[in-house]
Structure formats: structure tokens, C-alpha cells
Amino acid sequence: MGMTYDLVADYLSVAVVLDDPKAQVAQPVRKKLIEFQRFVQARAYILASRPEQTFAQAANLPDSTAPASKAMARWYAGKESRPWLKWANKTQTPNPCIMTLAGAPASCCCRNCARLLSGEWPG
């Protein structure tokens, strides 16, 4: 699990640099880095325990996102051959939930980090 969380920490370090007004990072590159950071951060609990799910998790994001477009490029180039479930009617709107907490029955940290939602079914 340590490597996944190290990757999250690396992306968060990059996010600090991207927020610096002096940083000379092109807008398209910045957008892709942020999308990959959100992908890894939101799914760290899955990627740490089931790294083989990385491709399917990325491919099933909205088509306009960088992780989805890179995953599908790998698929069409024949670089990914494992079976996977394709979400045929997936939403094309990015999920506002940026993080899910492992061990919590249902949790979501919203994009502006102003709210952390958590719930559990009674019983």
C-alpha cells in the first residue's frame, strides 16, 4: 500500500508547484496532471489493494479525462489485453467526489474540501 500513497504524495507535491504563480507550466499539461492526481487520490484504496484494476478504473472515467483517454489509447494500441468490464452507459460528467476513505461504508470528500460526507446503512 505504501507505493500508492507515495504516488498520492508525489502528485500533491506537484499540485503545490502548479499553484505557484511563478510556475511555467502550460495549461494543457497542468490540466492533465490535475486529472491524474485526482484519479489516483480518489481511488488510492482500490489501486493499493487491487492494482490490476487501474486500467479498468481509468477507462471507465468520462471520455474527456486524461486517465480515460490514455487508458483507451493503450487498449486500441494493443498494450492492454486483460479482460475488463466496460461501463457502456458511463456518465460523461466528472464525479465531484475527490476521495473515498478506505474502511468507511460510504464516504466522499468534495472538491473544495469544505465537506466530508460519510454514511452507513443502519443494521
- Report pLDDT digits (tens) over 105-120: 555 655 555 666 666 6
pLDDT at 123 over 70: no
Residue 41 is part of which domain span? 2-85
Q: How far is CA 29 from the centre of its chain?
A: 16
Q: Let me know if residue 75 belongs to a domain.
A: yes
Q: Let me know if residue 96 belongs to a domain.
A: no
Q: Let me know if residue 42 belongs to a domain.
A: yes
Model confidence band, residue 122 (pLDDT cutoffs 50, 70, 90): low
Q: Let me know if residue 115 belongs to a domain.
A: no
In the beta sheet, which residues pair with residue 109?
99, 116
pLDDT value for 7: 85
Mean pLDDT of the chain, nearest integer: 81
Tally of domains in the chain: 1
Each residue of 59-75: pLDDT tens digit? 999 999 999 999 999 99
Q: Are 100 and 108 in contact (CB under 8 A)?
A: yes
